[in-house]
Amino acid sequence: MTRGQGHRLAFLTLLPMMASCVVPVGPEWTDPQVNTPPTIASANPPIGSILDFSAGGNAPLGVAVVLADQNTEDILYARWIIDYPPYSEGASYVALSQILPGGNQIQRPTVQFAPNCGDIMSRDSSNHRLLLAVSDRPFSEDPDPQHLDPVPTGNYLVEASWDFTLACQ
């Protein structure tokens, strides 16, 4: 028997044993979900509109916004901020904070806000700005009181604003 025939014979002897071996299937790995920024799916009136909240104005119902996030389990944090940016001492402040829980839907329930004279700190002007700041993480407690929309480093912040008129005496 030649050397090549010996190897062949040994292989043929081992072949039935190899056929009966069960090779375990390795675990299935899935990549973790990538964090994507929240988005504004729709806004009524449109972002950037000039609104009139006075009696008979064009915005009697306020602003309604539908937020979305591809990461359906993310909680969204929204802040409605008056007269910001820029920060103005005695005028700028967070008028309303809202939390939208995660779930199984990309689009979240509508958030709404309608400023009134109780929300206006500065009576010097009837022209104001309304800012909606949205994050998929809680806002930071920034030690700088002039920073009303801080988010932790590396997290997403989406903003939209409207200018509006509301004369308050």
Task: Kindly tell me the sign of the dihedral angle through the C-alpha atoms of 109, 107, 73, 155.
Answer: negative
Q: How many domains does the chain have?
A: 1
pLDDT reported for residue 108:
95
Q: How confident is residue 67, by pLDDT bands cut at 50, 70 and 90? A: very high
pLDDT tens per residue, range 128-168: 999 999 999 999 987 788 999 999 888 899 999 999 999 88
- C-alpha distance from residue 82 to each of 1, 5, 15, 23, 97 (Å): 95, 89, 79, 65, 12
Contact assessment for residue 62 and residue 115, using Cβ atoms and an 8 Å cutoff: yes
**91 assigned to some structural domain:** yes
pLDDT reported for residue 167:
85
**15 assigned to some structural domain:** no
CATH number of 99's domain: 2.60.40
Report pTM: 0.79
| Maximum average pLDDT range among 6-10, 12-16, 148-152 | 148-152
**7 assigned to some structural domain:** no
**46 assigned to some structural domain:** yes
pLDDT reported for residue 124:
82
**122 assigned to some structural domain:** yes
pLDDT tens per residue, range 88-101: 998 999 999 999 99
**110 assigned to some structural domain:** yes
**12 assigned to some structural domain:** no
